[in-house]
Chain A
Amino acid sequence: MAELLSVRDLRIGAISHPPGEPPREVTLVEGVSFDLARGKVLGLIGESGAGKSTIGLATLAHGRGGVRITGGQVLLDGTDILSLGRRDVNRLRGARVCYVAQSAAAAFNPAHRLIDQVIEATLLRGLMSREAARARAVHLFDILGLPDPASFGDRFPHQVSGGQLQRAMTAMALCPNPALIVFDEPTTALDVTTQLDVLAAIKHAIEVTGTAAIYITHDLAVVAQVADDIMVLRHGRVVEYGPARQIIDAPGKDYTRALVSAQRTTRAEAADQSGAVLEIDGVSAGYGGGANVLEGVSLRLPKGQTLAIVGESGSGKSTLARVITGLLPPATGRVLFEGAPLPPSAARRDRDQLRRIQLIYQMADTALNPRQTVRELIGRPLGFYFGLRGAAKTARVTQLLEQIEMGRGFLDRYPAELSGGQKQRVAIARALAAEPEIILCDEPTSALDPLVAEGILRLLARLRRETGVSYLFITHDLGIVRAFADSVAIMHRGKVVRAGRKSAALSPPFDAYTARLLACVPEMRLGWLEETLAMRKDPDQ
């Protein structure tokens, strides 16, 4: 039987408009070919800028913004859809080929009820009667595990949760019974426990309806659960393409190997020494007059070690960081530094107290002043805390740049001229310049691609060894905890539900939340999803 979809030597370009320079043509994707049989799933994986979304949209003959498909063929049942006119392309979209966006919350029109949007294309193409389409939508809501399927569609997008919207969007794509669905990072924006449910729902729906799919993600462990074949992309070119089992278990290229191993490293924890550099003692805190976001949180961070704070969005982990830095004075409780209580508000802390706790932010983009050069950014704490000037300051900045594995060539660059990883390194150097005892890391790698993130983690580990600094590391990623932390505290709804040495905290017996959290982290092996779901259905196992 012929392939459903054949992409041949696809080439995609765009016009880039660098500020203050004439526009120029850039190549986003080059020489990409693949085949997809009916009912099969292809995983496209790569870091940002790899061109995976661009390829996905090309299978709908769509280019976002100034993106243009400049060469190659996209054959759907033998017809090159790139050569079709607009009217014929529209007849394919929403009927034979459908799309599921990363952010369903933005992709649904806020002005219409879900059901009307779900069946809109199906009705327009005349594929079914209104009654039949509604019945199919309700059936799909049921398959996807949405609550109260019969009336779910009568709600407006803002009335349901993010995870439910993502499933509703999948229902919208499945409704016309298409031959192919493109899933563009459908679970990336979701919390880890929600991600598992949505992933399972999507996989189940694909199997039941027998549609083929292209599944785009940056998370190899996720794609391993759903894909039959995997294509690894980098800078718009194919790195490796093959059956999922081969890519995961026997990767042929260094880059793929690095991706697979980036998520598998673990590190033994340091022995617990008694001296705590930071203690949090019974802290409760909230914003305005509202309810407390933190409830009786107590933690300790041993000197020279790393304490990871783990939780989903809304767990209170970022609020805890604001209490420690003094941006949000707690309602009750204390923060002790080397045994002495710190003033609750940053405004009341003296310069030396401020110097000894530094912060690294999640988004290096907003953490660095775009109007200051690297020299000014790193130099300011040197001048501010230690009174360094002129040549002495430049020498120290250069030294710090070398410590973060960047050279003096970066001295006079602005943040806009750096890559994401380099920006985060400069932010680390700025923290380091203050010679702190503690660095508070607020998800410093979650906005970065896996390999870049791994480089940052290696750098942080080396700095811990060389300078004896302690880290309080906020993350939602248990993989990082295993690879990097000594002890861990798991937070849920403002409370610490579990805390202790890494080895003890992440071993059974678990409390209910930790068990669920741990079970939801995708593992880099085939069949993990089925096992997890089976265990859930049969909890005695």
Chain B
Amino acid sequence: MPSQTAGVRRGDRHPLARLVVRRLALSIALLFAVSILIFGGLEAMPGDFATTYLGQSATPAAVANLRAQLGLDQPAATRYLDWMAGALRGDFGTSWASRGPVSEQIGQRLSNSLFLAGVAAAISVPLAILLGVVSVRFRDRAPDRIINLASLAAISLPEFFVGYLLILFFAIRLNLATFPATVHEGMGLLERLRVVALPVTGLVFVVLAHMMRMTRAALISVMSSPYVETAELKGLSALRIILRHAAPNAVAPIVNVIALNLAYLVVGVVVIEVVFVYPGMGQYMVDAVTVRDMPVVQACGLIFAAIYIFLNMLADIIAIVANPRLRHPR
């Protein structure tokens, strides 16, 4: 995260607005650069794609035909502009594998993935903050040590291992949950929640540990600041110190931790979806990578990156807004 105070000039009336606008512009520039990177990757691909796709035995005519069909005969710059223009309108071109429009497939899958990640976030964020606070409150005592050790173990487990453990015990042995986690249109919310229960548990397990450890670190650094000692020496109660003196200053670091881990959640979704055969973006992308369906890979890559960039931007902007030095300039 770039330093927020570094850019403040004296006598600047609206450092807050200026920094927020600057952060927004940075994200747009970043997204633009990422799109070039993702698109440019295809150009750097060794060998001609049509040949790879049709196999070595393909006739030159068939190759030329396919190239024209996929638009590969156009200059790269033209194709990039077309692609970007389409992407901005939500049109990601045609899948090479299914020959159908990518957007059609992505629309439903994106909302499936966001649902999965959203439910996981709704559970893990409050839980992580709660555990972080408990851990700091009982710092270096039994609850803290247990949470610490458990979370160290949890961050060491691969997502797919957690997933299969859950499946084996809850779906197969105990028959409490469904596997695979198939969802389809027209499913009621409760039904949907029941289906995603296991994948959500897996995601929460993985993200929670990271989020809680970082929340704890952020809280500890605020709690050891001199103004908290001042509050103690003013005879304030522990609760008032935490709520009134620590919390306002902990908002920025904790929001940052949450955004960082939500971004992590976006990635965790990929593996969990594959494990639970859940029809989301992650599974779609992995399948596309395996068969080298480039329009799909590009579309998924861009969307994942955009979400990630957006979350990080949000965290930075909240941190800027939460900074009293910027809200109340000299």
Contacts and interface: CB of A to CB of B under 8 A. Distances in A.
Interface residues of B, number: 21
B230 A99 contact: yes
Of the candidates A103, A121, A125, the one having the most CB atoms from chain B within 10 angstroms of its own CB is A121
A158 B233 contact: no
Nearest to B230: A107
Contacts of B244: 112
A121 B249 contact: no
For the residues of B in contact with A, the DSSP-based class is helix
A172 B227 CA distance: 13
Contacts of A159: 328, 330
B43 interface: no
Interface stretch (A84-92, A325-333, A417-425): A84-92
A110 B233 contact: no
A26 interface: no
Contact of A93 (B226, B234, B325): B234
Given A107-B230, A109-B227, A90 B324 contact: no
Interface string B217-232: 0000000011101111
A139 B71 CA distance: 79
A396 interface: no
B234 A121 contact: yes
A107 B249 contact: no
A95 interface: yes
A101 B245 CA distance: 17
Contact of A64 (B229, B230, B235): B229
A93 B235 CA distance: 5
Interface string A137-176: 0000000000000000001101100000000000010000
Nearest to B231: A109
Contacts of A90: 235-237
A111 B324 contact: yes
B137 to A, nearest CB: 15
A217 to B, nearest CB: 18
Contacts of A91: 235
Contact of A108 (B227, B240, B248, B330): B227
A245 interface: no
Nearest to B328: A156
A106 B228 CA distance: 10
Contact of B225 (A62, A106, A124): A106
A191 interface: no
A453 interface: no
Given A94-B235, A112-B248, A121-B235, A158 B324 contact: yes
Contact of B248 (A57, A101, A111, A120): A111
Interface centre among B227, B245, B328, by most chain A C-beta atoms within 10 angstroms, is B227
A101 B225 CA distance: 13
A472 to B, nearest CB: 33
A434 interface: no
B235 A107 contact: no
Interface in B273-330: 324-325, 328, 330
B241 to A, nearest CB: 10
Contacts of A64: 229
B249 A110 contact: yes
A106 B222 CA distance: 12
Contacts of B330: 158-159
B229 A107 contact: yes
Interface in B239-288: 240, 244-245, 248-249
Contacts of B237: 90
A106 B226 contact: yes
Contacts of B230: 99, 101, 107-109
Nearest to B224: A65
B236 A121 contact: yes
A60 interface: yes
Contacts of A92: 235
A106 B235 contact: no
Nearest to B330: A159
B228 to A, nearest CB: 8
Contacts of B226: 101, 103, 106-107
A120 B225 contact: no
Contact of B227 (A57, A60, A110): A110
B236 A156 contact: no
A94 B234 contact: yes
Contacts of A57: 233
A95 B249 contact: no
A214 B330 CA distance: 34
Contacts of A172: 234
Nearest to B225: A106
A389 to B, nearest CB: 47
A213 to B, nearest CB: 15
A64 B237 CA distance: 17
Nearest to B323: A110
Given A64-B229, A103-B226, A110 B234 contact: no
Interface string A74-98: 0000000000000001111111001
Contacts of B225: 106
B227 A106 contact: yes
Contacts of A98: 233-234
A118 to B, nearest CB: 10
Contact of A110 (B229, B231, B236, B325): B325
Contacts of A95: 235
Contacts of B325: 110, 156, 158
A374 B283 CA distance: 61
B139 to A, nearest CB: 12
A329 to B, nearest CB: 25
Interface of A: 57, 60, 62, 64, 89-95, 98-99, 101, 103, 106-112, 120-121, 124-125, 155-156, 158-159, 172
Given A101-B229, A156-B324, A156-B325, 4 more contacts: A92-B235, A109-B231, A110-B325, A172-B234
Interface of B: 225-227, 229-237, 240, 244-245, 248-249, 324-325, 328, 330
Which 4 A-B residue pairings sit nearest by Cβ, starting from the closest?
A: A93-B235, A94-B234, A111-B248, A90-B235
11 contacts: A64-B229, A91-B235, A93-B235, A94-B233, A99-B230, A109-B230, A109-B231, A109-B245, A111-B245, A121-B234, A172-B234
